[in-house]
Amino acid sequence: MSSAPITLTLNADPSYARLVRMTASNAGLLSSMSMDRVEDIRMAAEEAFIYACTVQAGHPLTISFLVTDEGLTMRFQLAVDEFSEPDPENPTSLYADLILGSVCDSYQKLCCPAALVLELEADVR
């Protein structure tokens, strides 16, 4: 399988969540994922996208989907340098960390510039 990334660039606006979910699920199917695993991918993609929207609402966001026989890597590249500290009044980041840490095989928050990197391994070979 070719490992050329699929790239989606859009404004960080929650109204685009369906587009992100559908692109992620199609990428998962290219990587021999079961339907249960594709559902995990959809959930992770939506959660990461909504979280990105809270970090940089309305700014351009680039999402790269790297599909291989071994799995799928999603990278949400933000326009800010780093993530702010969690706000106890708005638990969005804590909730996102919990969901993404549970669903993904690997979940990282990178800085300079900020990015969310999600890895999900294929479960059908």
For residue 27, what pLDDT is reported?
92
User: Which residue blocks in 33-123 are alpha helix, DSSP H?
Assistant: 35-55, 92-103
Tell me, what's the pLDDT at 1?
55
pLDDT value at 37 more than 70: yes
**CA–CA separation, 25 and 44 (whole Å):** 10
Percent of the chain with pLDDT over 70: 95
d(CA 25, CA 82): 28
The yes-or-no verdict on residue 36 having pLDDT over 60 is yes
What is the value of pTM for the model shown?
0.90
Q: What does pLDDT average to over the chain? A: 90
Confidence (pLDDT) at 26? 92
- Of the candidates 100, 103, 102, the one whose C-alpha atom is nearest the C-alpha of residue 116 is 100
Distance CA 121, CA 53 (A): 25
Under 8 Å CB-to-CB from 115, ≥6 apart: which residues?
Answer: 75, 76, 77, 78, 109
Query: Is pLDDT of 93 > 90?
Result: no
